[in-house]
Amino acid sequence: MTFDSAFFFIFFLSTLAVYHVISSWDYRKVVLLVSSYFFYTIWNPPYVLILLFSTIFSWVIGNKLTRTGNGQERKILLILGLVGTLGLLAFFKYSAFLLDNLIQTLSLIGISYQPPILDLLLPIGISFYTFQALSYILDCYRRTQVAPVSLTDFALYVSFFPQLVAGPIVRTNEFLPQCRSLRIVTYSHLGWGGALLIIGLFMKVVLADAFLAPVVDKVYGSYLSISGIDAWVAVFAYSGQIYFDFAGYSTCAIGVAMCFGFGLPDNFRYPYASIGFSDFWRRWHISLSRWIRDYLYFSVGGNKKGRSKEYRNLFMTMLIAGLWHGASWLFVLWGGLHGIYLVLEHWLKKSFNGRIAALPIPSFFLIGLTFFIVTLTWIPFRSPDVFVAVNMLASLFDTEVVSITDRLERIEVISIIVLLFIWQLYMRNRYVEHVVERRHWVLRAIALSVLVVSILLVEGEGSRAYIYFQF
Amino acid sequence: MPISISNSSTRRPTQFWLRTWVFVCALSGFSFIGWEFFNVANSLWRTGTNDSERLWAEKRIEASQLGTAGIVLIGASRIQLGIDTLLLQKMTGQKVIQLAIDGNPYISVLEDLATDESILGTIIVSTTVNGLLNSQNQKNRASQYLNYYHSISTHLFRFDTVEAKLTAILRRYFRSRSNFVTPYKWALWPKDRLAQAGYLKFNSDRSVEANYSLVDVGKMYSDRVKRHLGEESEAVYRSIPKFEDNIKHVNTLLTKIMSRGGRVVFVRFPTDKQIWEIDDTRYPKKLYWDKFAQLSIARTVHFGDYPSLSGFNLPDGSHLDQSDKKEFTRELSNILFNCGKNYLSIDEDGTPCDLIR
């Protein structure tokens, strides 16, 4: 069930109605919990057991950690928690990949090994809810979460349906305090929450699916040689598509949660207006970047143990971030490239000790350069295999082959990307809420109506699953 | 800290939301209904709907529920444009499901049907020689559709079927919901492009009507020839290594289907003019198709062997115009089924027409 389905609309309104009819806070949480499990169950009933196991397991481990002061016992519990939660993720997400690589490595040294094929269906959202469950165990271990929580609250934290399958990845200190007392829901929660839902749907349904995705699919899926112009158009179109797709989902999630009175963390803050890659990762998939920074990068020493270790830690962290996205060497390559950019950026900053900042380079140029490099780096992320990625890269320099996209498609893509870039530049240091607040309510209503009608008229036209559902 | 813990956020716009949403509902409702009337008045809805993985998955689920008296069509655009599903249904008395995917190899779909024990009826496969070779190519729209189907086919309450029904209801009552022409396209697209894009009408049963009178046929034909040639300036013979291995693989799939009572027939749909010349130069019929016909354990029908199938004029050299669709369906049905000549919907005793083996 996705946010752009008619069924979700019915499900959301029914849950919202029941939630607001009930006055008891405890019962309201139960309504949300039952709805969340229903939301997950209709995707694949047996797999709800994995969610349930992950939830109960991490709750038990976390609560035990809050109660024991014995250092040795705490370490054992932590290891058990890591093995249990990450083991599930590794089994479902990476076992086929690891096995495939093992077979290929053995075949290189002349050993033919043919194990039974692991035909596992990846549980939707497993990477997201595993990280949330793990966050509780780690917080309890670090004593940032000191008091045990009830199973209902914890289960709701792991499975809250707006962000269950594609984030934002919520942290214990952001969500659990909100479960303590009745969430007050006013017209402005419903009004702005509904507006965010519409804005997110517009990004996904209209911009990503109806305009950009067809061009991307046409070029990346072409059996013919790809012309230079098509390759450039497709590469920029994908940059827009993945942003509108994922940021659209996050916006919907934040909006839906707000209608129930819950706040979720921002996940995107105009990433294509970043100055450099550290800035990019503070603006793109913020909830994942924070998670990886706090629990992984800092855990291995961060920047505290000298420059070479800092660079190693940065690079390794980004490789793992790449692998988090999927069991494929192309994702590892994508993460590795970002790791290299970050290392280079840190090296430049430290080596020239502020002298770069003093150079008369306009920030617009740096933003443009960052956007350009980030866009090119999406090529391995989007390509189904290495051959397509190499072909796409080579095609960027092609001047001969006839184009398979037509003029209007190219104009549409370029217009959307240029407008996106200008919008991101304008909004770089602003909040959309403040921009909306300052507009007259009639203007706000007209803008929302345009979005609603656009969604109604193009919904279903080449409808696609959310890109991040596969992660 | 840019975290919108909503109840304490100072960022949330707080003013006039009730009146804003009342206005939004009124204005969007008015605009939507207005477009709906305009749409109907100008027959814009006739340009049809678009294909989607969701629609394909819904049809795939239906295919599993057909039982023995059902026909599943697989292949690519030629069978979508060439078979009138309603007429075939009427002539054979069997439910027809269209699973062809435009521009995509079908082998992965055939593999999927072969492994599905509930596929017990007839499968009509539109193929070329080239189409038999694509089993290794997994990164295409067919695999995307299949992945989507498998990801939703285990849904409780068959969620996607429910979703598809809701969508169908909306499309039934609102023409603009099943429409290719949106206000954006109507206002900004050049009229000739709109007509070009609209020459194909995609039906909700996934069959397609092609109205070539709306387009510059000469240009379309020359574009088609260029596309068909690809990077070659002229077609040359292509040797297919291990062609018989490909047939063996197909036969393995057929064995699975036929061992549980299912029936399969391969049809080479017509192409003409330069398109056929290119095909026959690259993969000569005598060398490849006839070899396939000889080794295949299922029946094969090549348009070139049947005058009734080869006499159609194909405007772009590769596909049938909508005006020929019914006639072609009748002729093909006569060849494939044993009740076709009388154009009966169901035999007198009520049993559906059978496939000629």
Residue type, position A65, single letter: L
Model confidence at B160: pLDDT above 70: no
Name chain A contacts of B3, Cβ cutoff 8 Å: 174, 263, 265-266
* Tens digit of pLDDT at every position of chain A (471 positions): 778 888 889 999 999 999 999 999 999 999 999 999 999 988 778 889 999 999 999 999 999 998 888 888 999 999 999 999 999 888 888 887 888 888 888 888 887 777 766 666 778 888 899 999 999 999 999 988 777 889 999 999 999 999 988 879 999 989 999 998 889 899 989 999 999 999 999 999 999 988 999 899 888 877 667 888 999 999 999 999 999 999 999 999 999 999 999 999 999 999 999 999 999 999 999 999 999 999 988 888 877 778 888 899 999 999 999 988 888 899 999 999 999 999 999 888 888 766 666 677 778 889 999 999 999 999 999 988 888 899 899 889 887 766 778 888 899 999 999 999 999 999 998 888 888 888 899 999 999 999 999 998 876 555 555 555 555
- Which string of b and e fits B73-106 if b means at least 16 CB within 10 Å? bbbbbbbbbbbbbebbbbbbbbbbbbbbbbebbb
Nearest residue, CB atoms, B27 vs list A45, A445, A463: A445
In whole angstroms, what is the distance from residue A270 CA to residue A282 CA? 10
Which tokens hold the place of A296?
């992984």
Q: B21 in contact with A at a CB cutoff of 8 Å?
A: yes
In whole angstroms, what is the distance from residue A118 CA to residue A91 CA? 10
- Of all helices (H) and strands (E), which one includes residue B123? strand B122-126
Residue type, position B302, single letter: H
**Which chain B residues in 198-227 lie under 8 Å from chain A, judged by CB atoms?**
226-227
- Where residue A37 falls (left for φ over 0; alpha for ψ -120 to 50; beta otherwise) is alpha
Extents of the domains making up chain B: 16-46, 70-138+189-342
Angle of helix A363-382 relative to helix A407-427, nearest 10 degrees, comes to 130
- Tell me the CB-side half-sphere exposure of residue A48, using CA atoms within 13 A: 19
Which tokens hold the place of B143?
């695999």
In degrees, rounded to 5, the angle at the alpha carbon of residue B25 between the alpha carbons of residues B23 and B31 is 95
Q: Which residue has the tokens 């024991």?
A: A68
Indicate yes or no: CB of B156 within 8 angstroms of CB of A183. no
Nearest to B310 by CA among B280, B341, B339: B280
Q: Which long-range contacts (CB under 8 A, 24 or more apart) does A297-304 make?
A: none
Q: Which residues pair with B67 in a beta bridge?
A: B119
Distances (CA, A) of A75 to A89, A136, A140, A217, A319: 21, 15, 12, 48, 26
pLDDT given for residue A125 in this prediction: 85
B268 DSSP 8-state letter: E
Note whether A236 and A414 are within 8 A (CB).
Answer: yes
Here the ipTM equals: 0.81
Omega cis (within 30) before B352: no
Nearest to B285 by CA among B329, B230, B237: B237
Distances (CA, A) of A138 to A19, A266, A319, A458, B333: 32, 22, 21, 44, 67
B70-138+189-342: which CATH architecture? Answer: 3-Layer(aba) Sandwich (3.40)
**Which chain B residues in 52-81 lie under 8 Å from chain A, judged by CB atoms?**
52-54
The C-alpha of A246 sits at a distance from chain B's nearest C-alpha, in angstroms, of 18
Note whether A268 and A283 are within 8 A (CB).
Answer: yes
Nearest residue, CB atoms, A187 vs list B8, B17, B184: B17
Quote helix, strand, coil % in chain A, to nearest 5: 75, 0, 25
Interface test with A, best of B1, B4, B6, B140 (most A CBs within 10 A): B6
Contacts of A213 (CB under 8 A, 6+ apart): A237, A241, A462, A464
Q: How many helices (H) and strands (E) does chain A have?
A: 21, 0
Map residue B357 onto helix, strand or coil.
coil
Note whether A204 and A455 are within 8 A (CB).
Answer: no
- Of all helices (H) and strands (E), which one includes residue A140? helix A126-141
Find the residue in A nearest to B49 (Cα): A461
pLDDT given for residue B5 in this prediction: 40
pLDDT given for residue B111 in this prediction: 92
Name chain B contacts of A406, Cβ cutoff 8 Å: 193
Least confident of A298-302, B53-57, B173-177: B173-177
In whole angstroms, what is the distance from residue A56 CA to residue A129 CA? 12
Indicate yes or no: CB of B139 within 8 angstroms of CB of A384. yes
Indicate yes or no: CB of B53 within 8 angstroms of CB of A191. no
Average pLDDT, chain B: 81
Q: Could you report how far apart the first and last alpha carbons of chain A are, in Å? A: 16
DSSP string, A154-183: HHHHHH-GGGTTT-----HHHHGGGGSSPP
Which tokens hold the place of B222?
């020359």
Nearest to A220 by CA among A384, A378, A398: A384
- Out of A189, A285, A325, A346, which one is annotated catalytic? A325
Q: Which residues pair with B300 in a beta bridge?
A: B266
Name chain A contacts of B19, Cβ cutoff 8 Å: 441, 445
In whole angstroms, what is the distance from residue A238 CA to residue A242 CA? 6
Note whether A356 and A349 are within 8 A (CB).
Answer: yes
A325 labelled catalytic:
yes
Nearest to B129 by CA among B280, B11, B304, B323: B280
Confidence of residue B6 (pLDDT cuts 50, 70, 90): very low
H helical segments located in A352-406:
355-358, 363-382, 386-395
Note whether A167 and A129 are within 8 A (CB).
Answer: no
Nearest residue, CB atoms, B11 vs list A225, A406, A431: A431
Q: B14 in contact with A at a CB cutoff of 8 Å?
A: yes
Name chain A contacts of B52, Cβ cutoff 8 Å: 460-463
Nearest to A330 by CA among A127, A126, A97: A97
The C-alpha of B10 sits at a distance from chain A's nearest C-alpha, in angstroms, of 9
pLDDT given for residue B11 in this prediction: 76
Indicate yes or no: CB of B53 within 8 angstroms of CB of A258. no
Note whether B61 and B160 are within 8 A (CB).
Answer: yes
The C-alpha of B354 sits at a distance from chain A's nearest C-alpha, in angstroms, of 36
Q: Which residues pair with B200 in a beta bridge?
A: B210
Find the residue in A nearest to B141 (Cα): A221
Residue type, position B321, single letter: D
Note whether A7 and B159 are within 8 A (CB).
Answer: yes
Map residue B274 onto helix, strand or coil.
helix
pLDDT given for residue B176 in this prediction: 72
Q: B36 in contact with A at a CB cutoff of 8 Å?
A: no
Nearest to B276 by CA among B325, B239, B312: B312
Indicate yes or no: CB of B230 within 8 angstroms of CB of A224. yes
Interface test with B, best of A7, A382, A387 (most B CBs within 10 A): A7
Note whether B83 and B207 are within 8 A (CB).
Answer: yes
Indicate yes or no: CB of B12 within 8 angstroms of CB of A261. no
Name chain B contacts of A442, Cβ cutoff 8 Å: 23
Q: B19 in contact with A at a CB cutoff of 8 Å?
A: yes
Model confidence at B347: pLDDT above 60: no
The C-alpha of B324 sits at a distance from chain A's nearest C-alpha, in angstroms, of 28
- The percentage of residues in chain B with a pLDDT greater than 70, rounded to a whole number, is 79
Cβ contacts from A onto B, under 8 A: 170
In whole angstroms, what is the distance from residue A231 CA to residue A394 CA? 9
pLDDT given for residue B339 in this prediction: 65
In whole angstroms, what is the distance from residue A350 CA to residue B111 CA? 57
Indicate yes or no: CB of B24 within 8 angstroms of CB of A408. no
Name chain B contacts of A5, Cβ cutoff 8 Å: 163
**Which chain B residues in 140-169 lie under 8 Å from chain A, judged by CB atoms?**
140-141, 148, 150-152, 154-157, 159, 162-163, 166-167
Contacts of A391 (CB under 8 A, 6+ apart): A226
Indicate yes or no: CB of A433 within 8 angstroms of CB of B17. no
Q: B18 in contact with A at a CB cutoff of 8 Å?
A: yes
DSSP string, B142-158: HHHHHHHHHHHTT-GGG
Indicate yes or no: CB of B227 within 8 angstroms of CB of A463. no
pLDDT given for residue B217 in this prediction: 86
Name chain B contacts of A454, Cβ cutoff 8 Å: 184
